[in-house]
């Protein structure tokens, strides 16, 4: 297989330029380092020996290469990354000795950090006695997070003494701990640079040979993952300030930041459902207020309509009054004008009194009682409204009864009945007008109450809406970030996806 390096070199050069232009010199340099490796042919696998200080990284490389070229010691020793070529029958593997990552010297840590992007595989070396330490677990996780292929090397196993627990039990415990921490690794080796019955240093040698055999595949995989990881770091740095602001807003409103877009969308759905329920409940309550009020209106209208205020006796009095207005109506043998007029007035008053009495008893009182009952039984009605109810009623004036007479119809036998109907109609519309005045007054309060109900829920609606807006801003910013990552990585991915060996290697011929 021959690598068509140019296909990957150009996208990497473009990526380097863009990252350099954005002022991220360190990341740009790392991309350029990878570009150089690609130009050199991507043949040798770089194995970085990483771990806490004094785990035995340098000693292990010395033992593997059967040399003592690297300095070793009980205090933090290795200060800089050193590359050692290790020849196998299938080709060379480059072993990178790195300073301990927990070295108190910051320059040591920086050196390891700077070399990691050049490694294809990490041999994570641990001292037998500190394997299960928190620091080791966190360090292992950080390698996994960077997309590194991880091999675990538990070194110095010559320190194991069987009387506490058997070696098999120790192995089981170590493997369980890594599994509990969810750390994914390729293989685990138990080694020693001294003499030990459980030493797997020869198996480690075989692993190096295998890596040399699979060299091209291993390097291609690693280059792709490292470029992805470095580009992710670049994009994260660019988006960091904006994302921080958006996430702060999320903490202020929601209290949490979603794990991913799916969770964010779930949160949006939940809140939208709550908003819909809230709006529905406000609408329902407002409708219920309107319905109660409308029902009262309707009741009042029906009460007025059906009120019987002119039974037979009343109608008779009305009829007698109307008949007394006919020209041929005379009182006494001589038909004295005064007597006739007095009789007419007496009949009018009799009709008036009767009608007034019945209007009070059968129309006004029932109406007032219905209104009071409504005020008492409507939770949101104001008890002061009871005072308005006293204004309901009508005063039936004699002038009204006189004015309603149609002189042209007096001679008709049926007219007295029509006359009574006219008077009753006028009285009822007077009463209805007085009730409507009260209902109109109350309606202003009803409208205000409906608006108040909406206002009272507004803070809850606003809070939910703010949460939805904050989550949406997060979704849109993370989508933008993802889009930027895709834009930058697409040319690199295209080279890998169209290559002969599938996604794992750039095009070969
Ligand atoms: N018992 C025992 N001691 C070992 C073994 N490997 C290394 N040591 C000792 O552990 C100490 C540290 O070894 P180094 O190889 O310097 O460790 P390192 O991981 O390179 O340390 P730094 O470079 O400081 O990060 C030295 O004193 C070694 O002699 C081993 O397999 N068994
Ligand atoms: Mg060392």
Going across the sheet that includes 82-88, the strands are 82-88, 91-97, 45-51, 121-127, 149-155, 187-190
Q: Is the minimum distance from the CB of 55 to ligand 1 under 6 angstroms?
A: yes
Matching residue, tokens 């009623």: 393
The answer to whether residue 2 sits within a structural domain is no
Say whether both 164 and 300 belong to one domain. no
Tell me the CATH number at 68. Answer: 3.40.50.300
The mean pLDDT values, 10 residues at a time, for the chain of 509 residues are 67 96 95 90 87 92 91 82 89 90 70 82 94 90 88 94 88 94 95 92 93 84 90 95 96 94 97 97 94 95 96 97 93 82 96 97 97 93 92 94 95 96 97 96 92 94 96 97 96 79 47
Say whether both 359 and 433 belong to one domain. yes
Atom in ligand 1 nearest the alpha carbon of residue 72: 16
Say whether both 172 and 295 belong to one domain. no
The answer to whether residue 243 sits within a structural domain is no
Say whether both 303 and 416 belong to one domain. yes
The answer to whether residue 188 sits within a structural domain is yes
The answer to whether residue 88 sits within a structural domain is yes
Q: Residue 292: which of 230, 380, 171 has the closest Cα?
A: 380
The answer to whether residue 506 sits within a structural domain is no
Distance, first Cα to last Cα, the chain: 6
67 contacts: CB under 8 Å, gap ≥ 6: none
In terms of C-beta density within 10 A (0-12 exposed, 13-18 middle, 19 or more buried), how is residue 400 classed?
Answer: middle
Q: Residue 364: which of 322, 309, 327 has the closest Cα?
A: 309
Q: Which of 64, 72, 82, 154 for a ligand 1 pocket mutation test, highest count of atoms within 8 Å of Cβ?
A: 72
**What ligand is nearest to the CA atom of residue 57?**
1
Query: Which sign, positive or negative, has the C-alpha torsion 236, 240, 245, 248?
Result: positive
Say whether both 391 and 272 belong to one domain. yes
Q: Which of 49, 56, 191 for a ligand 1 pocket mutation test, highest count of atoms within 8 Å of Cβ?
A: 56
Which pLDDT value is given to residue 382? 86
Domain-terminating residue out of 152, 185, 213:
213
Q: Output DSSP code: residue 46.
A: E
Which pLDDT value is given to residue 483? 97
Atom in ligand 1 nearest the alpha carbon of residue 63: 6
The answer to whether residue 480 sits within a structural domain is no
Q: Is the minimum distance from the CB of 30 to ligand 1 under 6 angstroms?
A: no
Matching residue, tokens 């029932």: 366
The answer to whether residue 242 sits within a structural domain is no
Contact 268, 472 (CB under 8 A): yes
Say whether both 90 and 203 belong to one domain. yes
Say whether both 308 and 379 belong to one domain. yes
Residue 95 backbone dihedrals phi, psi, to 5 degrees: -95, 125
The answer to whether residue 499 sits within a structural domain is no
Domain-terminating residue out of 172, 198, 213:
213
Which pLDDT value is given to residue 104? 64
Say whether both 270 and 200 belong to one domain. no
Which pLDDT value is given to residue 507? 43
Q: Is the minimum distance from the CB of 99 to ligand 1 under 6 angstroms?
A: yes
Please report the beta strands in 133-209, taking only residues with DSSP state E, as ranges in sequence order.
149-155, 187-190
Residue 90: HSE in the Cβ half-sphere, 13 Å Cα cutoff: 16
| Cα separations in angstroms, 62 against 77, 90, 209 | 14, 20, 17
Strands 82-88 and 91-97: antiparallel
pLDDT tens per residue, range 356-407 = 999 999 999 999 999 999 999 998 888 899 999 999 999 999 999 999 999 9
Say whether both 183 and 286 belong to one domain. no
Q: How many domains does the chain have?
A: 2
Residue ID of nearest Cα to ligand 1 atom 2:
156
Say whether both 317 and 191 belong to one domain. no
Say whether both 291 and 204 belong to one domain. no
Query: Which sign, positive or negative, has the C-alpha torsion 202, 204, 208, 211?
Result: positive
Strands 149-155 and 187-190: parallel
Q: Note down the domain range covering 406.
A: 265-470
Atom in ligand 1 nearest the alpha carbon of residue 193: 31
Which secondary-structure segment (H or E) carries 222?
Answer: helix 215-253
Say whether both 279 and 174 belong to one domain. no
Matching residue, tokens 């309550």: 285
Other C-beta atoms closer than 10 Å to the C-beta of 102 total 17
Which secondary-structure segment (H or E) carries 91?
Answer: strand 91-97
């Amino acid at each position: 297989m021959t690598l068509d390096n140019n296909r990957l070199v150009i996208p990497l050069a473009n990526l380097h330029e863009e990252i350099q232009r954005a002022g991220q010199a360190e990341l740009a340099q790392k991309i350029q380092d990878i570009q150089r490796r690609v130009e050199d042919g991507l043949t040798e696998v770089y194995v970085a020996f990483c771990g806490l200080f004094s785990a035995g990284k340098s000693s292990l490389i010395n033992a593997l290469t059967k040399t003592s070229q690297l300095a070793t010691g009980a205090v933090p020793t290795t200060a800089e990354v050193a590359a050692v070529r290790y020849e196998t029958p299938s080709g060379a593997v480059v072993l990178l000795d790195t300073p301990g990552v927990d070295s108190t010297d910051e320059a040591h840590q920086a050196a390891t950090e700077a070399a990691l992007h050049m490694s294809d595989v990490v041999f994570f070396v641990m001292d037998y006695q500190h394997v299960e330490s928190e620091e080791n677990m966190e360090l292992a996780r950080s390698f996994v997070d960077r997309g590194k292929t991880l091999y675990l090397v538990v070194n110095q196993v010559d320190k194991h003494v069987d009387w506490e627990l058997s070696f098999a039990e120790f192995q089981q415990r170590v493997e369980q701990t890594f599994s509990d921490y969810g750390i994914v690794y390729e293989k685990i080796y138990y080694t020693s640079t001294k003499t030990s019955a459980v030493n797997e240093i020869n198996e480690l040698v075989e692993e190096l040979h295998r890596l040399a055999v699979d060299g091209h595949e291993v390097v291609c995989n690693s280059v792709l993952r490292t470029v992805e990881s470095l580009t992710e770091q670049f994009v994260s740095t660019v988006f960091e300030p904006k994302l921080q602001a958006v996430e702060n807003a999320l903490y202020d409103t929601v209290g949490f930041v979603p794990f991913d877009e799916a969770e964010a969308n779930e949160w949006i759905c939940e809140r939208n459902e709550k908003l819909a329920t809230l709006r529905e409940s406000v609408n329902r309550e407002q409708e219920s207020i309107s319905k109660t009020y409308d029902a009262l209106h309707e009741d009042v209208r029906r009460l007025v309509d059906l009120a019987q205020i002119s039974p037979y006796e009343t109608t008779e009095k009305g009829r007698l009054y109307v008949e007394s207005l006919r020209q041929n109506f005379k009182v006494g043998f001589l038909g004295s004008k005064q007597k006739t007029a007095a009789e007419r007035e007496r009949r009018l008053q009799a009709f008036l009194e009767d009608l007034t009495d019945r209007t009070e008893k059968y129309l006004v009182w029932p109406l007032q009682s219905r209104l009071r009952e409504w005020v008492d039984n409507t939770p949101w009605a104001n008890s002061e409204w009871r005072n308005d109810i006293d204004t309901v009623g009508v005063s039936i004036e004699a002038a009204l009864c006189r004015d309603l007479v149609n002189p042209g119809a007096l001679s008709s036998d049926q007219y007295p009945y029509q006359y009574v109907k006219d008077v009753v109609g006028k009285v009822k519309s007077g009463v209805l007008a007085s009730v409507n005045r009260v209902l109109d007054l109350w309606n202003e309060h009803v409208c205000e109450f409906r608006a108040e109900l909406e206002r009272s829920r507004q803070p809850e609606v606003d809070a939910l809406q703010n949460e939805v807006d904050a989550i949406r801003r997060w979704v849109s910013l993370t989508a933008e970030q993802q889009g930027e990552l895709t834009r930058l990585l697409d040319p690199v991915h295209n080279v890998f996806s169209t290559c002969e060996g599938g996604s794992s290697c750039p095009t070969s011929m």
